[in-house]
Chain A
Amino acid sequence: MYPAAFEYHTPGSVREALSLLGKLGDDAKLLAGGHSLIPMMKLRLAQPKHVIDLRRVPGLAGIKDDKGTIVIGAMTTHWQVESSPVLREKCPIVSDTAGVIGDPAVRNVGTIGGSLAHADPAADMPATAIAAGFEFVCEGAKGRRTVKADDWFKGLMSTAVGDDEILVEIRVPAWAAGSGGAYLKFPHPASRFAVVGAAAMVTLDGTGVCTKASVGITGAGTKAVRAKGVEAGLTGQTLDQATIEVAAQKAAEGVDVQADLQGSVEYKSHLCRVFARRAIEAAVKRAKG
């Protein structure tokens, strides 16, 4: 499969990339790891006239601890996220999620920023972005601004990043003591994308009462969403099996569940409830250590 012809640009700085983006406008696409964009170009679902490759921009990859917030450069690969000692210690659900994206060779190249800016409805990290409270830092000609995960995913492959902006980093709060999290999915057997995926994070106080619950659902609808009904059913409760069961029943509420080749609305709604329950169970187990 051959993509349509395009002109290839390799800016050496974010500023240069922004200037190209400003000049070329809608005719240009930013290329990060390329593991979403290149397949789309091969299928000619995307036919940009200009491709702006961010590989040569220094400083966009890497993971560092900034006083309790983990800062992940947008060009950091899924493998770097999966294998990061800092993330493993401070917010392991992010590493766990990265470790089930695609397959090892895909994770060696695909980037967290590229994936979150592409916002495939069946991508894994969006659910965890919501559960773990990611913040998205976008840079434009006028400087940087930060967008919260709840405001990031706008619709099918659509995010809050402006046409004249670049997602440059993702900020992840280190989780509080007594927290646990898990991301679980029902993978498509060939592509390994999430037919449905659920990310859950819970914080328990010394008596085992849930002081904070955060649940994100991906795959089922056109975009990842927060399962507010589930969170309400967990917060303030002792998380025994019955409480988790009841709370997880609300996992498909607020999701615009789409029927497709993988299943009906009923089937995918059911998967939302099952995977939310399993993710919460795993999160509680980890929170209890």
Chain B
Amino acid sequence: MKLPVKMTINGQTQSHEVEPRLLLVHYIREVVGLTGTHVGCDTSQCGACTILMNGVAVKSCTFFAVQCEDAKITTIEGLAKDGELHPIQQGFWEKHGLQCGFCTPGMILAAWQILDRTPSPTEEQIRHQLEGNLCRCTGYHNIVKAIQWAAENMATAKK
């Protein structure tokens, strides 16, 4: 039996009837049509499906859409504002923080969480806090550099 669910994704209200077993990541990709959120391991290990829910990073493959009634969700599509990349996105551009790009949306939203809690993280803190996000091609060096670039630029922007 389908149930109604309503949530806000990237500032837009979404309202649909869904099966309770529909995972949030499939809801976002297939019902709402935002395919920037990826399905990697599908076992809550790789972090490719990471989104922001009510201000914290979560793995959308480990949520049912029906659990998210009234949630405020940001996906990678909602990070850039008025055509301007978010500083974390810009950092990945500047520091070549991606090759194939599959892990990138999740990496960027995990990075958002890191910088939200630790605006000036050490390299060790960044590496430790990225433990739930796997990259199989770039390696992590440039991803760490990208986040450091973002941290510096976000701090400068605040001044």
Spell out A's residues near B (CB within 8 Å): 1-8, 31, 34-35, 38-39, 41-42, 51, 53, 55, 79, 102-106, 108-109, 190-192
Contact of A8 among B23, B44, B64 (CB under 8 A): B64
Across-interface contacts of A102 in B (CB, < 8 A): 44, 132
B62 touches A8 (CB 8 A): no
Taking the closest CB of chain A, its distance from the CB of B32, in whole angstroms, is 18
Closest to A31 in B: B67
Taking the closest CB of chain A, its distance from the CB of B123, in whole angstroms, is 16
B1-47 residues at the A interface, CB under 8 angstroms: 1, 3, 19-21, 23, 42-45, 47
* Bound Cα distance A102, B132 (Å): 7
Across-interface contacts of A53 in B (CB, < 8 A): 67
Across-interface contacts of A1 in B (CB, < 8 A): 42
Contact of A103 with B47 at beta-carbon distance under 8 Å, contacts A3-B21, A6-B21, A108-B58 already known:
yes
B105-120 residues at the A interface, CB under 8 angstroms: 110, 113-114
Does chain A have a CB within 8 A of B63? yes
- Ranked 7 nearest A-B pairs via Cβ: A103-B132, A8-B20, A108-B56, A3-B21, A105-B57, A103-B131, A38-B62
Taking the closest CB of chain A, its distance from the CB of B23, in whole angstroms, is 8
Count chain B residues whose beta carbon lies closer than 8 angstroms to a beta carbon of A. Answer: 28
Across-interface contacts of B43 in A (CB, < 8 A): 39, 42
Does chain A have a CB within 8 A of B129? yes
A8 touches B3 (CB 8 A): yes
Contact of B110 among A31, A34, A41, A105 (CB under 8 A): A105
The 24 listed contacts between A and B (C-beta, < 8 Å) are A2-B21, A5-B19, A5-B20, A6-B20, A7-B1, A8-B20, A8-B66, A31-B67, A34-B63, A35-B44, A38-B62, A38-B63, A38-B64, A39-B44, A42-B42, A51-B20, A102-B132, A103-B47, A103-B132, A103-B133, A104-B57, A104-B113, A104-B132, A109-B59
Contact of A106 among B42, B113, B132 (CB under 8 A): B132
Spell out B's residues near A (CB within 8 Å): 1, 3, 19-21, 23, 42-45, 47, 50, 56-59, 62-64, 66-67, 110, 113-114, 129, 131-133
* Bound Cα distance A35, B64 (Å): 11
* Bound Cα distance A192, B128 (Å): 12
Closest to B60 in A: A105
Taking the closest CB of chain A, its distance from the CB of B130, in whole angstroms, is 8
A109 touches B113 (CB 8 A): no
Across-interface contacts of B64 in A (CB, < 8 A): 8, 34, 38, 51
B21 touches A5 (CB 8 A): yes
* Bound Cα distance A271, B120 (Å): 36
* Bound Cα distance A215, B133 (Å): 32
Contact of A34 with B62 at beta-carbon distance under 8 Å, contacts A39-B44, A42-B42, A42-B43 already known:
yes
Across-interface contacts of B47 in A (CB, < 8 A): 103, 105
Across-interface contacts of A109 in B (CB, < 8 A): 58-59, 62-63
Taking the closest CB of chain B, its distance from the CB of A201, in whole angstroms, is 24
* Bound Cα distance A38, B20 (Å): 12
Taking the closest CB of chain B, its distance from the CB of A55, in whole angstroms, is 6
Taking the closest CB of chain A, its distance from the CB of B143, in whole angstroms, is 15
* Bound Cα distance A66, B40 (Å): 44
Most buried by A among B58, B62, B131: B62
